[in-house]
Amino acid sequence: MKIGISVSSSHYVEDPHEGARNMIERARAARDAGLDSLFVGDHHVTPFPYYQNNVILARMLAEWGNRPFGALYLLPLWHPILLAEQIGTLASLSEGPFIMQCGLGDARQGKALGIDMSRKVGMFVESIRIMRALWNGETVSESRYWNIKEACISPVPSRKVDIWVGATVDAAIERTAKLAEAWLANPGLTSNEAGEAISRYQQYCAEHDRIPTAVAVRKDMYIGSSSEEARATVQPYIEKGYRGISPEALLVGSVEEVAAQIRSLQGQGYTDVIVRNISTNQRECLDCIHRLAEVKALV
């Protein structure tokens, strides 16, 4: 079972330098803890500080090193040529493989960016096709969404970019099985829901004769010095309705308890768990990341 981290890009700070420092420190802590992969998210037109993925990830790589890394992209919000170029450049900064996590995005962001999100599924599928072709060194034309004419890019990644799709509803899970190298399960899934969802994904992979490179799940976590400390720390976040996620879906507890929860996910067939800090306190976040080294030893 591999344990990676998605470092939060949201930081409610008065000085924007502080939020950037937080992310850099967390990347360094993830390296020191021996985590298997590093990611950042994707969000746009926010009223609070949100550090944009390609820029901050390039800086974080200086701390992370040559293990797998990547970012989430809400594909309909990006022009596929520009994104393929950005990823080609990012991939050249490290010997580690680049992993593109991707999703659809929401109507609010699409409206603010002037994008017709009623076409988002088609844009999503076509964007993946275009970027794969560009990374293969091909010349691409496309007339339905972006009016692309004989485009090619350089540099291209020297290693294959794996695409992980975040999908929740049944039709999207089947589309992922057909389209992508891997599936990224929703962080809001409880243990029973995670088991049911992976069974559906595995069924669709079998139907379409696909063997995924990974079966990943995102999980929000807090690892305490003890079970009691962990639950006391997380309780205020839960009382505020933390991200709309059921408390049963969170990884919360001591090192031993969180390791047991991750082993349960492994038993269901997941190969990767991508954790995200629940706490917004930098010291607590760093302590949790460091404790992940102990969790890995038990898993």
Q: Residue 20: what pLDDT?
A: 97
Is 66 part of any domain?
yes
Q: Tell me how many domains the chain contains.
A: 1
Question: How crowded is the C-beta side of 137, counted as CA atoms within 13 Å?
Answer: 4
Which CA distances in Å does 233 have to 122, 127, 239, 291? Answer: 43, 41, 11, 15
Boundaries of domain holding 49: 2-166
Backbone phi, then psi, for 172, in 5-degree steps? -70, -35
Average pLDDT of the chain to the nearest whole number: 97
pLDDT single digits (tens) 41-95: 999 999 999 999 999 999 999 999 999 999 999 999 999 999 999 999 999 999 9
Q: Is residue 178 very low, low, confident or very high in pLDDT (cuts 50, 70, 90)?
A: very high
Residue 8 lies in a domain: yes
Tell me, yes or no, whether 63 lies in a domain.
yes
In this prediction, residue 276 carries a pLDDT of 98
- In degrees rounded to 5, what are phi and psi of residue 10? -95, 125
What's the mean pLDDT in 158-182? 96
Residue 165: pLDDT band with limits 50, 70, 90: very high
Residue 162 in domain: yes
Torsion over CA of 106, 107, 108 and 111, rounded to 10 degrees? 130
Q: What is the pLDDT of residues 258-290, one digit of tens each?
A: 999 999 999 999 999 999 999 999 999 999 999
pLDDT of residue 150: 98
In a domain, 271, yes or no: no
135 within domain boundaries: yes
6, part of any domain: yes
What CATH number did the domain enclosing 73 receive?
A: 3.20.20.30
- The pLDDT of residue 259: 98
- What are the DSSP calls for the chain, one per residue? -EEEEEE--B---SSHHHHHHHHHHHHHHHHHTT-SEEEE----S-SS-B--HHHHHHHHHHHH-SS-EEEEEEGGGS-HHHHHHHHHHHHTT-SSPEEEEEE---HHHHHHTT--GGGHHHHHHHHHHHHHHHHTT--EEE-SSS-EEEE--SS--SS--EEEEE--SHHHHHHHHHH-SEEEE-TT--HHHHHHHHHHHHHHHHHTT---SEEEEEEEEEE-SSHHHHHHHHHHHHHTTGGG--GGGSEEE-HHHHHHHHHHHHHHT--EEEEEE----HHHHHHHHHHHHHHHHH-
> How do residues 182-218 score in pLDDT, each as one tens digit?
999 999 999 999 999 999 999 999 999 999 999 999 9
Q: Which of 52, 88, 58 is nearest to 161 (CA)?
A: 88
**Any domain includes 211:** no
pTM for the complete prediction?
Answer: 0.96
